[in-house]
Amino acid sequence: MSWFIRKEKGINTPTEMKREAPDGLWYQCPNCKKITATREHKLNAYTCPHCNYHEKVGSDVYFELLFDQNKFTELDADLTSGDPLNFVDTKAYPDRIKATQAKTGLKDAVRTGHGKMNDVKVVIACMDFNFIGGSMGSVVGEKIARAINYSLKHKQPFLMISKSGGARMMEAGFSLMQMAKTSARLALLSEEKIPYISLLTDPTTGGVTASYAMLGDFNISEPEALIGFAGPRVIRETIGKDLPKGFQSAEFVLEHGFLDFIVDRKDLKDKLSSLLTMLK
């Protein structure tokens, strides 16, 4: 079948001709199971046009959604984790970091940068769940602290987008210290009267909820995001009672006074920039 073998090499499509989300690819919503063209789903800010399910997305998507023309300067892009405890579980921690970096193209579970959002200067830190469950270790804490320093120095508002399973077990106590470090920096931001907005996305739990995610001048969330400290199973077993319906959803948390408002991802940029303009 020689006619079936490609003899000539070099029939490649240049990168600029490749479309990021070509027509003919489909996205199936895990919530309502309905089908949407990938392209339409992307244009809809990765929310389902049928049921408004907000797909989990990474820092690349949030930066593209929020920064004008996707233009921003990334801060501390090359900061990577050490192995302070020589931690080994099913594999050694440095090997796990290397493997995750190779798989995700990320250096750690948060990216930080500054740019403009509808012409308002802003510093954004956004977590990536794909990187070891968005866990908060020394690098996450340090990058957030440094991004807050940038906010302080340049008097620009700070936006934190959280998405995390909590502290990073492989760094144990070092992870927990990040809660204190980031909270202390946020207190300085508050003293300088520089606005801090915290956006909680699905899921935001553990030490992240217990520190910077709940310390915003405004704590806001995407619809139906899971927000909590310990997981529902752990709580149920501890208190020996069934939990109320919708427990730990953004809507439940809002109703009980822990959130200021819930924002649809499609409106996120406009809502945030008008809020920051009002706070100026």
Binding stretches for Zn ion (CB under 5 A): 29, 31-32, 48, 50-51, 53
Closer CB to Zn ion, 51 or 188, in the complex: 51
To Zn ion, the closest distance from the beta carbon of 43 in angstroms equals: 15
CA distance 85 to 185: 26
Closer CB to Zn ion, 34 or 98, in the complex? 34
Report, in Å, the least distance between residue 8 CB and Zn ion. Answer: 44
Residue 175 near residue 207 (C-beta atoms within 8 A): yes
The CB-of-165 to Zn ion minimum distance in angstroms stands at: 24
Q: By C-beta, is 54 or 111 nearer to Zn ion?
A: 54
Which of these, 134, 131, 115, lies nearest to 269 by C-alpha position?
Answer: 115
Q: What gap in Å lies between CA 116 and CA 184, rounded to an integer?
A: 26
Which residues make Cβ contacts (< 8 Å) with residue 135, sequence separation at least 6? 109, 164, 165, 166, 167, 168, 169, 175
Please, which residue, 29 or 106, has the CB nearer to Zn ion? 29
Q: Output the smallest distance, CB 222 to Zn ion, in A.
A: 14
The residues facing 7 across adjacent strands are none
How would you write 211-227 as a 3-class SS string? CHHHCCCEEEECCCCEE
Cα 181 to Cα 87: distance, rounded to the nearest angstrom: 23
- Cβ-count burial 27-45 (b if 16+ within 10 Å, e if not): bebeeeeeebbbbebbebb
Cβ-based nearer residue to Zn ion, 50 or 98: 50
Least CB distance to Zn ion at residue 53 (A)? 4
- CB 248 to Zn ion: min, Å: 21
Which residue, 29 or 159, is less far from Zn ion as judged by CB?
Answer: 29
In the complex, minimum distance from the CB of residue 54 to Zn ion, in angstroms, rounded to a whole number: 10
Which residue number, 21 or 279, has a Cβ lying nearer to Zn ion?
Answer: 21
